[in-house]
Amino acid sequence: MSTTNAAIGKDGGSPRGEALLPSGTQRARLRKWRYFKDGVSRYGVGAGGLGVVFALGLIFVYLFYEVAPLLMSADVTPHESYQIPGEPGAQTLHLAMERYEELGVRFSDDGVATFFETQDGTVRKSVELPIPPTARITGFSAAESRQRLVAYGLSDGTAVVARHDYDLTYPDDTRYIEPKLTFPLGKEPVVMDSSGEPLIQVAIQEGTRGFAMAALTANNRLVFSLYRTSTNLFTGDSEISRSEYELPSPPGVARRVLVDSDHRAVFVADNQSRLHYYDVSQPRNPRLVESVRVVDEGHQVTTMEFLVGTQSVIIGGSDGSLTQWFLVRDDNNERHLQEVRSFEPQPAAIATIAPELARKGFVVGDAAGGLSIHYATSHRTLLQEDILDGPIQAIGLSPVNQAMLMLGPDGRVTPMTLKNPHPEFSLGALWGKVWYEGREEPTYTWQSSGATDEFEPKFSLIPVTLGTIKAAFYAMLFATPLAIMGAIYTAYFMQRHLRGFVKPTVEVMEAMPTVILGFLAGLWLAPFIEAHLPAVFSIFILLPLLMLVVGFAWSRLPGAIRLRFPAGLEMLILVPAIIIMVWLCIQVSPLIEIWFFGGSTRQWLTDVGISFDQRNALVVGIAMGFAVIPTIFSIAEDAVYTVPRHLTQGSLALGATAWQTVVGVVLPTASPGIFAAVMMGFGRAVGETMIVLMATGNTPVINFNIFEGMRTLSANIAVELTETAVGGTHYRILFLSALVLLVLTFVLNTAAEIVRQRLRQRYSNL
């Protein structure tokens, strides 16, 4: 016995007296090490989860940080006032500023233009307009603010047209602005009324074809003149040709006249609270189209001005009302005046309106010294304050909307710093219908930029949000049945070794760059679908039927034949059948077009009122579906495969067929995982960018037509963010759309998790 024990110890076994298990000290040391690893894992996983939540929170915070300035209202900061430069006894007719906000200009009723420094009122230059000594000033008008044009109407039926301009130089690397006055129609007064009647009201506007002027004479005649300038290429001399027309006299006494920059419309406001619209598109046959009441009865129009672009007219009334009007085409293609918006009224009569130079905003001063700032498109009143104790005589705005000059009743000018960075934003403009200039009705429109300053930005998020949902819907419509059915078959019916090949292959598809899918969809798939549209729909219809027919035929084969194929490999029979069926559909497609669609499916769709674009939702659905299928398939397959075997075996033992077991046991048990897979795929589709960017027309339209494209939130950000000015309204609205996209996916995923948990609780006791 001792010999045996010694031999065992010598051969490597436990020596005599040594235990086979670790000692108590060793066990305590191992236990502490295990506790340490468990603690590190527990706190590490917890810290990772908290880190994800923290990172998500930081994304929310950053996006809101970029969006928050959109919520700010306007603000003005008055500076020390000074006496109006120039002749103190003369009446100020117009105030303006140059773009660097260093110089201002005052036009007065003594025919003098006074250029002065806006900071302290120091006169830089005074220019006397060439008004004949035999004539006196009887009327005045300023054109749209960007043109810097003014016109003086004279008592002899003539007018002097001047433009204030500025030369910029840099002597000794210091900016110096030299003001000047130019005369685009010559220094000599131009004839407005051949009969020589005094011009009581005048209006001027420069257009692409020259200059247009309208004037009301002392005997209540309304005249309209067009001026064309031509330059001799050899001598450089300019000649001015003039055409004079007479319009129907307004029913009341005119208080203000305006002419648009297209030289197609003249607007006259009278003392009976009415606005008259004249169509002068054919000046030889002018006509008074309509007269509408623009303020309440018992009140009068005190002033009216064009917004930039001369399409909208802002009407100010003696009751403090402010309304926006523009021309709208009716069913007969005739243009008529339409009141579009009314703004918050002032407590006193409107004294002056100063439109912004590059946006659809305007500043209003009333007879009680109140100041308000409005923006037309967003229908916002951004500021409403009492600034002075008396009526505001004139307001001059900076071209960049960062400063303004305000003339009070005491003849003192108050320079002001203006902060109004994002007037275009409002919830109504983003999510509601907006009536844009030139449109027949309010619409949801996204069109963020244009070629000219008078363009009205359109920032409705409805088209891009619905476009996001549309793209995701068609992608899920294509991907969900394929992915879920494939996952059920792979997890429950397919042979194990074949499953080991199929599942990794499908999951590898997820690694394919979506830019490649988008590239193929845009350059190959879209033209292919357009050329073989009947074949594509034939495949969608016949493919499920083919599978049913092949499956039925397989079930009717003799058992001896079916047993030759290992269980789970019968699906291979479908492969040649599908290939043949697809080939036949493509070959027969031209015949289907000839038989049923008159030779062209696309033309047939157009004839029945269905728009067709080559890059459309069908292309996106197929391309994005291939990108989403791996996500849904992988998660759903795992959910089905991990259903406990005792549940399926018990069902089969009780006499249920394989399909009955799938429907009654497997699917309910795996439903939380399948639902999570679908929602994960939907989240992937909602955030997809490159496929949508390359495979659609990227047009922000509102419809669910499968044959038209769309623009999604993510694609919109990718396309436009690089083209925006950092910190501008467009820039911040794009960040807002990113926030909307994040909130949308967050809400969907949260709702999906709640539903998944409830499904899990319901079927956990099976």
Q: Is the pLDDT of residue 494 over 70?
A: yes
Q: At what angle do helices 617-641 and 462-488 cross, to 10 degrees?
A: 40
442-458 confidence digits (pLDDT tens): 999 999 887 777 788 99
The pLDDT, as a whole number, for residue 265 is 94
C-alpha to C-alpha distance for 307 and 324, rounded to whole angstroms: 9
Confidence of residue 735 (pLDDT cuts 50, 70, 90): very high
User: What's the average model confidence in pLDDT over 346-352?
Assistant: 94
Q: Is the pLDDT of residue 119 over 90?
A: yes
The pLDDT, as a whole number, for residue 31 is 86
Q: Are 611 and 708 in contact (CB under 8 A)?
A: yes
Confidence of residue 362 (pLDDT cuts 50, 70, 90): very high
More confident residue, 567 or 575: 575
C-alpha to C-alpha distance for 263 and 254, rounded to whole angstroms: 20
Element (H, E) at 224: strand 222-231
Mean pLDDT of the chain: 89
163-194 b/e (C-beta count within 10 Å ≥ 16 → b): bbebeeeeeeeeeebebebeebbeeebbebbe
Cα-based angle 597, 601, 604 (whole degrees, multiple of 5): 70
Q: H-type helices in 642-666, by residue range? A: 645-653, 658-661
Q: Is the pLDDT of residue 20 over 70?
A: no
More confident residue, 513 or 6: 513
C-alpha to C-alpha distance for 42 and 55, rounded to whole angstroms: 20
User: What's the average model confidence in pLDDT over 350-363?
Assistant: 94
C-alpha to C-alpha distance for 754 and 173, rounded to whole angstroms: 67
More confident residue, 764 or 317: 317
User: Could you state, in order of their start, the residue ranges of all structural domains in the chain?
Assistant: 75-102+110-123+302-421, 131-293, 462-763
- Using a pLDDT cut of 90, give the percent of the chain over it: 59
Question: Which residue in 435, 534, 498, 468 sits closest to 686, CA to CA?
Answer: 468
Q: Specify the CATH architecture of the domain 462-763.
A: Orthogonal Bundle (1.10)
The pLDDT, as a whole number, for residue 561 is 78
Q: Is the pLDDT of residue 680 over 50?
A: yes
C-alpha to C-alpha distance for 63 and 721, rounded to whole angstroms: 14
The pLDDT, as a whole number, for residue 2 is 46
The pLDDT, as a whole number, for residue 758 is 82
Contacts of 452 (CB under 8 A, 6+ apart): 309
The pLDDT, as a whole number, for residue 7 is 45
- Using a pLDDT cut of 70, give the percent of the chain over it: 96
The pLDDT, as a whole number, for residue 568 is 62
Q: Are 323 and 376 in contact (CB under 8 A)?
A: no
C-alpha to C-alpha distance for 697 and 709, rounded to whole angstroms: 5
The pLDDT, as a whole number, for residue 29 is 86
Confidence of residue 569 (pLDDT cuts 50, 70, 90): low
Question: Which residue in 419, 390, 383 sits closest to 407, CA to CA?
Answer: 390
75-102+110-123+302-421 and 462-763 share one fold: no
Helix (H, G, I), strand (E, B) or coil at 645: helix
Confidence of residue 3 (pLDDT cuts 50, 70, 90): very low
Q: Output the DSSP codes for 128-146.
A: E----TT--EEEEEE--GG
The pLDDT, as a whole number, for residue 567 is 67
- Enter the pTM of the model: 0.87
Element (H, E) at 153: strand 149-154
Q: Is the pLDDT of residue 566 over 90?
A: no
Q: Are 418 and 403 in contact (CB under 8 A)?
A: yes
373-397 confidence digits (pLDDT tens): 999 999 999 999 999 988 999 999 9
More confident residue, 343 or 208: 343
The pLDDT, as a whole number, for residue 10 is 47
Q: Is the pLDDT of residue 329 over 50?
A: yes
629-677 confidence digits (pLDDT tens): 999 999 999 999 988 888 888 988 988 888 899 988 899 888 888 998 9
584-624 confidence digits (pLDDT tens): 999 998 888 888 888 888 889 888 888 888 899 999 999 99
The pLDDT, as a whole number, for residue 5 is 47
Q: Report which DSSP code applies to 250.
A: P
Q: What is the CA 139 to chain-centroid distance, rounded?
A: 43
Phi-psi region of 111 (alpha: psi -120 to 50; beta: other; left: phi over 0): left
Confidence of residue 558 (pLDDT cuts 50, 70, 90): confident
C-alpha to C-alpha distance for 158 and 202, rounded to whole angstroms: 10
Pick the CATH number of 75-102+110-123+302-421 from 2.130.10.10, 2.60.40.1930, 3.20.20.10, 3.40.720.10: 2.130.10.10
Q: Output the DSSP codes for 296-364.
A: -TT--EEEEEEPTTS-EEEEEETTS-EEEEEEEE-TTS-EEEEEEEEEPPPSS-EEEEEE-SSSSEEEE
Confidence of residue 8 (pLDDT cuts 50, 70, 90): very low
138-175 confidence digits (pLDDT tens): 999 999 988 999 999 999 999 999 999 999 999 988 99
The pLDDT, as a whole number, for residue 77 is 93
Contacts of 91 (CB under 8 A, 6+ apart): 108, 109
227-279 confidence digits (pLDDT tens): 988 776 776 677 788 899 999 988 888 889 999 999 999 999 998 889 999 99
Contacts of 573 (CB under 8 A, 6+ apart): 550, 554
Q: Are strands 446-447 and 458-459 parallel, antiparallel or unpaired?
A: antiparallel
Q: Output the DSSP codes for 371-428.
A: EEEEETTTTEEEEEEE--SS---EEEE-TTSSEEEEE-TTSEEEEEEEE-S-TT--HH
The pLDDT, as a whole number, for residue 6 is 45
